[in-house]
């Protein structure tokens, strides 16, 4: 039994570090966070921290992967619900309640920073690509299903509409990150974009 | 005469530094550029460089302001041309030839970096706001004029459509910066977004 309890304990400790580190990244941003900040916030020793994560980049990637897994799991559970494809698409964009006032991911500005400052690094670019390759089919598959069921018009390519959704969400995340909160009126913008999509999908 | 020639010479020297520094920022990005890089690339001494610009931030802001002035001047000359408001709007989004294959601003990734990494700095945030306050009316005024002339539908608020244009352009700039070039298919995306706008403006 002992090894298993130990393994669970180690996993729990790793999860705790990631959870506290997420708060640290939200507070300081990616560039201005150091492993020392994470050690101080978690109370874990230097050796303890490096046992789990070889670098700040490695730690941040672990958090990104965890977020992406949660996103995919949430999507898969949404896809099992019945209802219109339009409603499903709105839930994918806005979150479970399909309302545009859903809070933005508080880690989003740090994620932007991670990808923007590391854009000339091959590893970082590959990582951004992998993320896009997971996100795009989430949107384009729902649009395709809606087109096949006759709920949506076939006028536009499902993948291109999926790309435009990611572009718009990213543009909002960027505006919210670099301008005073609410300044770009994200709710109204999402409502207008939903209307653009409605027209393009023939709803 | 001497002082005037001198003044012209100083202005020319300042412009040369800014032009070379732009290339340095394009190559290295904002964070990874130092004043030493700029000195080496321009061949200007440390004292010479700091005579014109008190810091890297100050230098970058001067470049941003120059770009913004050029943007506004270009817009003002466009506004004097006759033609449809729709065509004018496309020129504002795509550049003079109103084609979606216009090259992205090569400094755009560094600008993103400047605003994203400095997002918790009050000065940087104020600066981003000032920039948005100049850009937004460029789009919303053309839309308003098109609505008043009857060319565009009044169905949507001109300012909201203007905001959505900035969001989409920023989203594309972000994707182009952090993903392999062309990977997000910016031309096709701009074409689709133009169709969204057409429908929203009743064209």
pLDDT, tens only, A137-181: 999 999 999 999 999 999 999 999 999 999 999 999 999 999 998
Which range is least confidently modeled, B52-61, B75-84, B175-184?
Answer: B75-84
Minimal CA separation from B137 to chain A, in Å: 13
Mean pLDDT of B16-35: 96
Q: What is the pLDDT of residues A6-59, one digit of tens each?
A: 888 989 999 999 999 999 999 999 989 999 999 999 999 999 999 999 999 999
Determine the Cα–Cα distance for residues B172 and A164; give it in Å rounded to an integer: 9
Determine how many CB atoms are found less than 10 A away from the CB of residue B200: 21
Q: Which residues of chain A neighbour B115 with C-beta distances below 8 Å? A: 178
The structure tokens listed for B26 are: 């394009």
Q: So what's the pLDDT on residue A104?
A: 77
Q: Which residues of chain B neighbour A174 with C-beta distances below 8 Å? A: 112, 116, 170-171, 174
Q: Which residues of chain A neighbour B196 with C-beta distances below 8 Å? A: 164, 196-197, 199-200
On the question of pLDDT at B99 being above 80, the answer is no
Q: Which residues of chain A neighbour B174 with C-beta distances below 8 Å? A: 112, 116, 170-171, 174
Q: Which DSSP helix (H) or strand (E) runs through B17?
A: helix B2-28
Whole-Å CA distances, B16 to B2, B43, B52: 21, 11, 11
Q: With contact defined as beta carbons under 8 Å apart, do B146 and B85 qualify?
A: yes
Which of B31, B108, B112 has the highest number of chain A CBs within 10 A, making it the mutation to test binding with A?
B112
Q: So what's the pLDDT on residue B48?
A: 94
pTM: 0.91
Percent of chain B with pLDDT strictly greater than 90: 73
Determine how many CB atoms are found less than 10 A away from the CB of residue B14: 14
The full length of chain B comes to 203
Q: So what's the pLDDT on residue A39?
A: 98
Among A152, A133, A36, CA closest to A90: A152
Mean pLDDT of B21-26: 97
Q: So what's the pLDDT on residue B101?
A: 58
Q: How confident is the model at residue B100 (pLDDT cuts 50, 70, 90)?
A: low
Tell me if B132 and A179 make a contact (CB, 8 A cut-off). yes
């Amino acid at each position: 039994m002992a090894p298993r309890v130990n393994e669970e304990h180690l996993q729990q400790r790793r999860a705790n570090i990631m959870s506290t580190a997420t708060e640290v990244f939200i507070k300081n941003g990616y560039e201005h966070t150091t492993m020392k900040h994470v050690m101080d916030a978690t109370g874990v020793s230097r050796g303890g921290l490096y046992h789990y994560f070889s670098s700040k980049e490695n730690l941040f990637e672990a958090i990104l992967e965890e977020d992406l897994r949660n996103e995919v799991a949430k999507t898969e559970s949404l896809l099992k619900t019945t209802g219109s494809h339009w409603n499903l698409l709105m839930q994918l964009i806005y979150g479970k309640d399909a309302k545009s006032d859903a809070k933005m991911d508080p880690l989003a500005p740090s994620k932007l920073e991670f990808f923007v400052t590391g854009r000339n690094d091959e590893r970082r670019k590959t990582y951004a690509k992998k993320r896009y390759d997971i996100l795009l089919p989430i949107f384009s598959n729902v649009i395709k299903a809606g087109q096949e069921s006759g709920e949506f018009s076939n006028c536009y390519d499902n993948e291109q509409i999926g790309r435009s959704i990611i572009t718009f969400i990213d543009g909002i995340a960027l505006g919210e990150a670099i301008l005073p909160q609410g300044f770009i009126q994200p709710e109204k913008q999402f409502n207008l974009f939903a209307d653009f999509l409605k027209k393009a999908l023939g709803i």
